Every structure is written in C-alpha cells, then in structure tokens.
A = this chain, B = another copy of it.
C-alpha cells in the first residue's frame, strides 16, 4: 500500500500476485492461463494500476502497432479529413497514429521518412510531393496520389474518370462552353489526370473548352485576369467551369459573384473536386466530384498492414461520384 514511488512493472505484478513473470505476460496477452491464476494476476494489476510498457514490448517483439501518416499539413480540409478517416480506420484496428506534416518540402519529407524508420513504425502512409523519395524496403509504405513504381502500392481516386465526369455533368446541365482551371505543382501525380479526363470528356461530347493552368506560387490574381479577359459585355465566354479543387471553386465563385456580378449557377456553373465541405451546404451553389475518402483511407490501412502481397495491385483506383455534399460524416 506504500509502493507508489515509481511506475509498476510486470515484475511488481508478479510479486504481488505470487506468480512468475511469464504468467503475468500470458494474462496480459490473453494467452491460456488457469482461472485462479488469471484472477490473482488481474487483481494485482488492478491494485498496482499496472500498464504494459509499449516500449519494452516494441523492443522485444519488434512490433509497435504504430503507423506513421505524412501529409503536407492539416490546414487543407482535404488533408485533414483524409487524416481523420485514416485515423478512424487505424484506431478501429488498435493501431496508433504518428503524425508528421511535411509542408510540401521534399527534403523534410525524406527526413521524416528516416525519422519514421528510426521510430520503428510498422508502416508509413504518405501523401508525398517528393518524386525521388528514398524508402527502406524494411518498412511497408503506401503512397496516396503518387505512383512510385510497382514496389510501392499507390491509392488514388479515379481522377481521370472524375475529370471526365465533371465535363459530362456540366454538359448534361446545359453548358455549351467549358473552362478548366488548375493551380498546382508541376510534379506528375494522379490528380493531374483530372485534366486529361476533362479534355477527353469535352472531346467525346464535342464541346469547346479552354484550359488555364498556373503553377504553385503563382498569385491567384492570374485566374482573375484570365476571367476578365474572357468577360465581355457583362457575359463570360464560358457557361461551365471545372475547378481542380473545391477550395479553388469557392474562390472562383466568390470572384464571379462579388466582382463580376454574375450569378452562380444561373449565368455560369461551377464544379469542383474533392467533396469536402466544412460549412453547411445551404448556400452552396457549386457541384463537385466527390473523392471516396473513407475508401481511400480503408485501402491505405489495409495495404500498409497486410504483408506485402505477392500479386498485390500496385495502383488502386477508387471510383468518384458526383454530388453537392461530401460523403464524410460531419
């Protein structure tokens, strides 16, 4: 009743219960133990308020039940909801999540992968902006939205199909002249295929389109100038705009309604991509291509936890859908 000095260990429990160390270990791990012994040990654990040290356990068994998750940041709603879903999936399987923000910095990303390896995590889930990421073959890594090659499984939405769907939906809703707006990195990654899908959709439907693509770092005003150029006599050259993300769709919509006096969707329709909404949809007048965040998360976790399958698919492509609201729980 007076040994409250330091954190109790398995040895303390064993002594308290009058059993051997191995027996306590069995009780803790749910291995078969005589009923009377189990009770004695459980009582001792309760009394001492004992908790297993996951560090000792991890050291000994080389299994840490920890997955490192790396995305650029938690500011973008897409990233934070994605991480939220991954976390749900992991904790349902009794795994812990070590989080790293990469800030879009390839060097930092590389360093964090090393850190995670040092941490002896059981796996890494990574949305990477470093096309030359070096990764030790010892720790399984799953990539989101970037295909590194057959050794590293990659999970992504059907970006091509989504781009195509965006074009189709705009036309279906009566648009006759489309535009595609994109800001983003020059790196090749899966989301870039949205453009290709969009173009394919336009050409299949024989609808004219314009592209405006600017690189990361370019000020947003480049878009406003582009829109102004195509604005004559109170009318825009396009009646349908596909923005590469919802967040961009929101900004573009603001520019059109506030500064150019256009009505959305009456004068011009806007469709975004991602399907993440933070606020109510009440006044939301843009549509979107919804990424299946839960499915992406579930596939990532499944892949990172299951031993590197022999004939595992290298690239998993998940179906998107058309909608106004997000699919993730609020």
Contacts and interface: CB of A to CB of B under 8 A. Distances in A.
Interface stretch (A114-122, A158-166, A316-324): A114-122
> Which secondary structure dominates where chain A touches chain B?
mixed
Q: How many copies does the complex hold?
A: 2
A121 to B, nearest CB: 10
Interface string A85-99: 001100100001111
Contacts of A53: 59, 118, 120
Given A96-B98, A278-B278, A138 B74 contact: no
Interface residues of A, number: 57
A254 B99 CA distance: 35
A58 B53 CA distance: 10
A146 interface: no
A83 B91 contact: no
A146 to B, nearest CB: 22
Interface of A: 7, 49, 51-56, 58-59, 64, 66, 73-77, 80-81, 83-84, 87-88, 91, 96-101, 114-115, 117-120, 136, 138, 220, 247, 250-251, 253-255, 257-259, 278-280, 282-284, 328-330
